[in-house]
Structures are given as C-alpha cells and as structure tokens.
C-alpha cells in the first residue's frame, strides 16, 4: 500500500476577469514508504498546488488524499503531526534567529519548552549552523536559509517530508550539500515527496519521478525508465551562428527519426536517430558541405530534458520562464 496516495485531485481558481484555471486537473500519485518521489514540471504545472493539498494548506475541489492511512481532508490535524514541510511557501520568520525559529516550531508541535530547545540545538549542529544560530535569519545567505527551512521541517523527525523546490536559487555547492542531507534522511527511512524544475535534481534524488504538466501526471517511472521510454540515441549540434538554424534543422530532420528540437543550451539542436554513429557522420558531413561551422557535435543518451520535451512538447525551463508568476 502506498504511504502517500492522492487520487483524482482537482483544484480550480477563477482569477478576476479571466477564464477558470485548472491548477490540478485529475492528478493522481502514489509514493511508497521510504522512497523519494519527485514531481517534475515547469512553474504553473501544479507541483506546488499538489504539495499544498497534501500538507493541508488548501482543500481540493474534489479528489482524495491519504497519508499513512490518515485522510488529509478529513483529519488535517493528525496529518500535521506526522509531516514536515519546507519550501517556497512555508517560510521561516526573518526576524527570529535560526535557533529561535526551530525552537518556535518545536513549541508549536507541542514538544514542550525543554525538548523544543534540545531538538533545536541538535538540528543547528546537524545543519552546520552553530556559528549563525544566534543571528536573525534576515542576514542569512540563501543556502543557510534553505538549511534552516529544511531543519524546521525536521523538528519532529517526521516520517513524511514535503520539499517544495528545495534547491531553487541555490549555488551548486549549497545544492550538493542539501542533496546529501536529503539522501541521508531517506537512508533512514523517511518518505519524501519533492518538487523540482531541475531534471538533474530529480535524476539524482528520486526513486520515482512523476512528470506533471497542466495539473496532470503525464508520465511516471524511474529516471531510467523515463529515458528509455523516449528511446534511442540522439545527435546534438551546437551552432556558431544562430542565423543558420533553419538549414541545420532541415538536415537534422532528414536524418533523424523524429522532430529536431532546441535544447536548453542556446544554439543547440537535438534530434533522435536510429543508428548513432552513422547518423552523426552523415549529419556532420552535410552540415560541413553546406559551409556551416559548428561549436560542437556529438551523440548523447536521452536526458530527462528530452523526456520532458517529448512528453510536453516544450522545454522545462522555457515553460518556467513563460509562466513565471502563474503558479
């Protein structure tokens, strides 16, 4: 039996003077105990809304959600005693110190003054915040802020953790450090549902990935399964001059087995092919014959980017840009 189970969640909003937005459009999800599931999708896809339903912050219009046998909609108080939430929306108090924030959360879980202090001290040490513990959070760096935020979610050492875009906006070093923490939690048996826009993050952390677009799960499986589902090899070309895009696209389409699509990197185009080496040499031959210069040409295995692209028809990060604020 799944530890977290959401079925047919629907949530609509009606912004003033605009058509109804279906933030969740029949979303279903299962997370087995002790595993990490990543919700992957662009901003506005419904990731945060899903997490907000599961953390009791919003009620869906219809559908059901159960965590460890407890009905989230009928018994939110019991759910709150077994979850930890961290992320964009569940903020910490900027005017309190790191220690005070954790102590406050402990008190609000009703651990009592003494245990709340002990636990705050423990978490401060675990998250390497000893030196900063008596400074107000307002002065924290982005990485420290995320750590104190995550620590806040761990105060009762909950069996279930919800992490909403835990590393968005972090520098690579802080991101790696946070990934280590999350992996260590999972190794101790915590069940984690996290949302991310970063394919790399889902690839690294998640046992299972649910790709979300327009309020629905459009694909799920392990990273490898998802990559295998889009199949085959790819040829990627990086142009020197963007003006030559059309010509190159034509050449790629002729030799590929599918649509040539732009990658996230600028001026890079990717096409699925049947026989990698042969296709690559033919494509490079033709491009060279056409007098077009390349920065880079090569074969690559499908990435989660390709998965996303193939499933949704648009790139993850492009969509994120377009829909900023729509979430």
- Site residues for another protein per CB under 8 A: 33-34, 52, 55-59, 77, 80-83, 85, 88-96, 100, 104-105, 107-112, 115, 118-119, 122, 126-128, 136, 152, 154-159, 177, 180-181, 184-190
Residue 254 CB, shortest distance to another protein, in Å, is 49
CB-CB contact of 236 with 298 (8 Å): yes
Residue 103 CB, shortest distance to another protein, in Å, is 9
CB-CB contact of 4 with 191 (8 Å): yes
Residue 170 CB, shortest distance to another protein, in Å, is 15
Residue 211 CB, shortest distance to another protein, in Å, is 25
d(CA 81, CA 55): 11
Q: Which region, left, alpha or beta, applies to residue 3 given φ > 0 means left and ψ of -120 to 50 means alpha?
A: alpha
User: What is the rounded (10 degree) CA torsion for 313, 205, 52, 229?
Assistant: 30
Residue 58 CB, shortest distance to another protein, in Å, is 4
- Cβ neighbours of residue 300 under 8 Å, at least 6 residues apart? 233, 234, 235, 236, 270
Name which of 47 and 267 has its Cβ closer to another protein. Answer: 47
Residue 93 CB, shortest distance to another protein, in Å, is 6
Name which of 139 and 250 has its Cβ closer to another protein. Answer: 139
- Cβ neighbours of residue 138 under 8 Å, at least 6 residues apart? 94, 95
Name which of 116 and 199 has its Cβ closer to another protein. Answer: 116
Task: Name the phi and psi angles at 323, rounded to 5.
Answer: -105, 15
Name which of 43 and 56 has its Cβ closer to another protein. Answer: 56
Name which of 77 and 224 has its Cβ closer to another protein. Answer: 77
CB-CB contact of 43 with 213 (8 Å): no
Helical H segments across 171-267, by residue range: 172-187, 199-205, 223-230, 245-255
Name which of 22 and 282 has its Cβ closer to another protein. Answer: 22
Name which of 260, 307, 304 is nearest 279 in CA terms: 260
Name which of 120 and 199 has its Cβ closer to another protein. Answer: 120
d(CA 8, CA 63): 5
Q: Count H helices, E strands: the chain?
A: 12, 14
Residue 88 CB, shortest distance to another protein, in Å, is 7
Residue 141 CB, shortest distance to another protein, in Å, is 16
Name which of 122 and 214 has its Cβ closer to another protein. Answer: 122
Residue 304 CB, shortest distance to another protein, in Å, is 24
CB-CB contact of 255 with 234 (8 Å): no
The position carrying tokens 């979300």 is 212
Name which of 151 and 280 has its Cβ closer to another protein. Answer: 151
d(CA 47, CA 43): 8
CB-CB contact of 251 with 81 (8 Å): no
């Amino acid at each position: 039996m799944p530890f977290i189970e959401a079925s047919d969640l629907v949530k609509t909003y009606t912004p003033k003077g605009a058509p109804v937005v279906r933030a969740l459009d029949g979303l279903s999800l299962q997370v087995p105990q002790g595993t990490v599931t990543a919700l992957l999708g662009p901003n506005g896809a419904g990731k945060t809304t899903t997490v907000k339903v599961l953390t009791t912050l919003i009620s869906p219009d219809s559908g059901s959600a159960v965590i460890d046998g407890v009905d989230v909609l009928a018994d939110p108080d019991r759910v709150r005693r077994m979850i930890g939430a961290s992320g964009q929306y569940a903020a910490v108090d900027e005017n309190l110190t790191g220690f005070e924030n954790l102590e406050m959360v402990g008190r609000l879980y009703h651990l009592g003054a003494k245990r709340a202090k002990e636990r705050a001290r423990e978490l401060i040490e675990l998250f390497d915040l000893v030196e900063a513990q008596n400074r107000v959070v307002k002065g924290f760096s982005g990485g420290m802020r995320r750590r104190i935020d995550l620590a806040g979610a761990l105060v009762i050492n909950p069996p279930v953790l919800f992490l909403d875009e835990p590393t968005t906006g972090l520098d690579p070093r802080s991101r790696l450090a946070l990934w280590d923490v999350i992996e260590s939690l999972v190794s101790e048996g915590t069940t984690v549902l996290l949302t991310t826009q970063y394919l790399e993050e889902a690839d690294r952390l998640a046992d299972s990935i649910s790709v979300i677009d327009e309020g629905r799960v459009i694909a799920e499986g392990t990273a490898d399964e998802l990559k295998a589902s889009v199949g085959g090899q790819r040829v990627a070309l990086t142009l020197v001059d963007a003006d030559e895009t059309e010509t190159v696209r034509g050449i790629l389409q002729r030799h590929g087995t599918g649509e040539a699509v732009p990658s996230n990197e600028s001026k890079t185009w990717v096409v699925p092919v049947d026989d990698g080496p042969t296709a690559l040499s033919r494509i490079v031959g033709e491009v060279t014959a056409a007098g077009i210069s390349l920065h880079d040409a090569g074969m690559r295995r499908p990435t989660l980017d390709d998965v996303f692209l193939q499933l949704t028809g648009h790139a993850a990060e492009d969509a994120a840009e377009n829909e900023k604020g729509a979430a």
